[in-house]
Amino acid sequence: MAIAEHPSAYPARRPDRLGAAIARQGTAFWVAAALLLLMPLLVSSFWLVQILAYAMILGMIALSLMFLAGYGGIVSLVQMTVAALAGYVVAIFGHSAITQISLGWPWWAAVIVAVLIATAFGTLSGALSVRTEGIYTIMITLAIASAFYYLTLQNYTVFNGFSGFNGITPPVFLGVDWGENIPFYYLVLGCSALACWAVVYVARAPFGLALQGTRDNPRRMAALGFDVTAHKIAAYAFASALAAFAGVLLVWYQRQISPGTGGVGPVVDILIIAVVGGLSRPIGPFIGALVYVLLRTFSLDLLEWVGLDGKRFQLLIGLGFLVIVLFSPDGLIGIWRRITERARRSREARAAQMRIGGDAPGGTP
Amino acid sequence: MGDFIARRPIWSFLIIVFAAILLWLVFAVWPPALEASLGRKRVFLSALFNGITLGALYFLVASGFTLIFGLMRNVNLAHGSLYLMGGYIGYSIGELTGSWLVALLIAFLVVAVVGILMQVLLFRWMEGQDLRQTLVTIGLSIIFADLLLWSYGGDTFQVTTPEWLSGPVELPFIVGLRSSGEAVMMNYPLVRIAILFGAIVVGIAMWLALNRTRVGMLVRAGVDDRDMLSATGVRVQLVFITVFAFGAGLAGLAGVVGGTFQSLQPGEDIKILLSSLVVVIVGGMGSIPGAAMGALIVGLAEQFGSVYMPTYAVMLTFVIMVAVLAIRPEGLAARR
């Protein structure tokens, strides 16, 4: 099912035609971008950070899965683990309240080390799981993810066991305290936009096209001289780097990290977010994450309003996920696309009818 | 067997040496030097037996999982939920009727019916779509987990061990010598030994059913080539439903068994699911002997790990999995 759209062939880019570049993205894109940029004026800080920023962070992790699944046909459950590992490394090498473990490096050094280590880990797990194919990957990555969870739970010398690390703060940089609500929102927004752009760019680059080739027909790609395994491992590396950056943001958002961050629940949640949003476009995971965070935050009120026990949040998530998987394999954006398609078609049909019927323009059919 | 020795003389030699050392460790009276380095023999023996009986439980769960995967290419991530469901049902029936065997039987039947419903209502309509089926099982496992939490709460339950299975039994293994020179024998819970025998009986019955009956022949043919089997006029759907019912029922039965010598609580479903995943990955997917081998390895690794390296017990299991993946990605018992 995880079939991403082939990026349509764009005409050769000419930097002097800015107007064309703006027009190419479509109105919806610019409206959304303006809305996101102006969001701090419109909503409270609760919505800004707890809902939007959190959704974008989860969206970035899910985006890394979308890249693997949509373009590479690899469904990996290890992305949340990569993010959690990056968060842990930030806590271990940077500052936290657990001073006997944390090394107290400057934040930028900790972040670089975190991204490197987490990317290496993600690539290694990828190398381990690409040796088997298809549906096996999901089992192996789930097993690796839970191994990491148990490691963090049982190891006290490095990961500080059950309690993990707390007191991790976002850095003060360029005279701005990035832990403040509005700077943090813009930081996350900027990173998400960058991540989205990176995914779109890589998908259109020769590497991305070759990756989509290996997804559609690995044997033919191998016959053409492409190294299928290497392409898949490289895809893991790219996706892991994305997830690692998101993990750094996640630990800054939570200001603490514990084994639960990379537990089996969150690991599966990322898959749910990506699938519910839709695996065919980079925007899908963000929509899925927004829906997930909204449901998670307001399910108590929602369920009690309907007259059910507010604790049945998981039931709601599970049922919603099942309905999406059963009826719309390409997620919420698939539903949206079908609706707009139908509207367009009925509009065209109406127009055609009018022409055939010879009605006066503007007359109701 | 002889073929194996001829093909891999070094490996066979190592296996034989290892088996000999193990036998010596089990039967001999340990000299003091060994006790000083490895700890008491009683601890070693109980870790060994606990590992084997835990492996028996894992085999019961994982054989259903591997059978369903082998035939239908369906990674049933709701298998752990079926286990927990069986355990809870067994607990309720056991409390109601007071009979352990009735609880075992009803848990098997009810969970088998749930399995049939899953196959008929859901998976039948998305045949050949591996990923979609797996996603559906994830959704189901979330729903089942929450429904079970809703009806049974977060408390820990234990299925009551029947009268005729409770209490320890003396095994013919010497754990040490008293100062008088009299041998101390090993005492071990009877219920665990019964479970081990049960699992062996189920394993042999499954092997016979797969290799000596017509249905088993159809299942094996289906594992090899599903499309060809249906082209020969076999009603494949019926075979699928049978296998799904049996695999699910086995998980439910294992739930009662696990609930008897371990405990039942939310979260147990994920633990069992992960164990079966590792068992099946280590053993080779879709193979019953592989499941038995993997279950034994994982059970032993968990128990010896928790005795000799307590902080990394669970990690040991995964290290084994990674090692197997690196050397033989298809699993130990996979056909080449």
**What is the pLDDT, as a whole number, of residue A238?**
92
The SS3 call for residue A172 is: strand
- Chain A CB contacts of B316 under 8 Å are none
**What is the pLDDT, as a whole number, of residue B169?**
77
| A103 occurs within a structural domain | yes
Whether B251 shows a pLDDT value over 90: the answer reads yes
Q: Which of A232, A326, A327 to mutate to test the interface with B (most CBs of B within 10 A)?
A: A326
Using alpha carbons, select from B224, B231, B212, B248 the residue that is nearest to residue B64: B248
Using alpha carbons, select from A262, A272, A263 the residue that is nearest to residue A293: A272
Query: Which residues are A173's β-sheet partners?
Result: A176
- Chain A CB contacts of B334 under 8 Å are none
- Chain A CB contacts of B329 under 8 Å are 131-132
Cβ distance A147 to B311 less than 8 Å, yes or no, reads no
The angle, 0 to 180 degrees and rounded to 10, between the axes of the packed helices B130-152 and B268-283 is: 150
Helices (H), chain A: 18-25, 27-42, 45, 54-66, 72, 79-93, 107-129, 136-154, 181-204, 206-216, 218-223, 228-254, 264-277, 283-306, 313-327, 331-357
Tokens representing A16 are 């002097």
DSSP-assigned letters across all residues of A1-37: ---PPPPP-PPPP-TT-HHHHHHHH-HHHHHHHHHHH
Cβ distance B131 to A144 less than 8 Å, yes or no, reads no
Tokens representing A364 are 């109701």
Whether B312 shows a pLDDT value over 60: the answer reads yes
Q: Which residue of A has its CA nearest to B312?
A: A154
Count of structural domains, chain A = 1
Identity of residue B89 = I
**Cα distance from A269 to chain B (closest Cα, Å)?**
10
- Chain B CB contacts of A288 under 8 Å are none
Q: Which of A1, A125, A139 to mutate to test the interface with B (most CBs of B within 10 A)?
A: A139
What is the DSSP secondary structure assignment for residue B168, as one 8-state letter?
E
**CA atoms in the 13 A half-sphere facing the CB of A177:** 4
Pairwise CA distance, residues A354 & B221, whole Å: 60
**Cα distance from B95 to chain A (closest Cα, Å)?**
27
Whether B5 shows a pLDDT value over 70: the answer reads yes
What is the DSSP secondary structure assignment for residue A53, as one 8-state letter?
I
Domain with residue A37: its CATH number is: 1.10.3470
Q: What is the mean pLDDT of residues B316-334?
A: 80
A-B contacts (CB, under 8 Å) = 108
- Chain B CB contacts of A315 under 8 Å are 142-143, 146-147, 150
Do B184 and B177 form a contact (C-beta atoms < 8 A)?
yes
Using alpha carbons, select from B138, B44, B5, B122 the residue that is nearest to residue A321: B138
**Cα distance from A154 to chain B (closest Cα, Å)?**
6
Pairwise CA distance, residues B285 & B325, whole Å: 12
Whether B30 shows a pLDDT value over 60: the answer reads yes
What is the DSSP secondary structure assignment for residue A171, as one 8-state letter?
P
**What is the pLDDT, as a whole number, of residue A336?**
82
| A357 occurs within a structural domain | no
Using alpha carbons, select from A44, A56, A29, A32 the residue that is nearest to residue A189: A56
Q: Which residue of B has its CA nearest to A276?
A: B135
**What is the pLDDT, as a whole number, of residue A8?**
46
Find how far residue B152's CA is from the centre of its chain: 25
Q: What is the mean pLDDT of residues B319-330?
A: 81
Mean pLDDT, contiguous 10-residue spans, chain A (365 residues)? 48 55 70 76 76 89 90 87 91 79 79 91 87 76 86 81 79 75 84 89 88 86 86 91 91 86 86 85 87 82 73 81 82 82 85 66 45
Do A215 and A168 form a contact (C-beta atoms < 8 A)?
no
- Residues of A engaging B, defined by a Cβ cutoff of 8 Å: 1-2, 75, 128-129, 131-132, 134-136, 138-140, 142-144, 146-147, 150-151, 154-156, 264, 268, 271-272, 275, 309, 312, 314-315, 317-319, 321-322, 325-326, 329
The SS3 call for residue A225 is: coil
Cβ distance A147 to B277 less than 8 Å, yes or no, reads no
Identity of residue B276 = S
- Chain B CB contacts of A140 under 8 Å are 281, 325
Q: Which of B146, B280, B309, B316 to mutate to test the interface with A (most CBs of A within 10 A)?
A: B146
For residue A213, the enclosing domain spans 26-312
| A359 occurs within a structural domain | no
Do A71 and A215 form a contact (C-beta atoms < 8 A)?
yes
Cβ distance B132 to A136 less than 8 Å, yes or no, reads no
- pLDDT band of residue B113 (cuts 50, 70, 90) is very high
Cβ distance A321 to B322 less than 8 Å, yes or no, reads no
ipTM: 0.80
Do A146 and A259 form a contact (C-beta atoms < 8 A)?
no
CA distances for B10 relative to A164, B17, B214, B326, B334, angstroms: 46, 11, 39, 20, 20
The angle, 0 to 180 degrees and rounded to 10, between the axes of the packed helices A264-277 and A79-93 is: 130
Helix (H) or strand (E) holding B170: strand B168-177
Q: Is A161 left (phi over 0), alpha (psi -120 to 50) or beta?
A: left
Whether B43 shows a pLDDT value over 50: the answer reads yes
**What is the pLDDT, as a whole number, of residue A147?**
84
**What is the pLDDT, as a whole number, of residue B109?**
94
| A330 occurs within a structural domain | no
Percent of chain B with pLDDT over 70: 94
- Chain B CB contacts of A80 under 8 Å are none
Q: Which residue of B has its CA nearest to A139?
A: B277
Cβ distance A143 to B274 less than 8 Å, yes or no, reads yes
- Chain A CB contacts of B146 under 8 Å are 312, 314-315, 318
B39-327: in CATH 1.10.3470: yes
Closest partner residue to A268 (CB to CB) among B138, B274, B322 is B138
The angle, 0 to 180 degrees and rounded to 10, between the axes of the packed helices B313-327 and A107-129 is: 50
**Cα distance from B122 to chain A (closest Cα, Å)?**
9
Pairwise CA distance, residues A359 & A365, whole Å: 8
Whether B336 shows a pLDDT value over 50: the answer reads no
The per-residue pLDDT of chain B, averaged, comes to 84
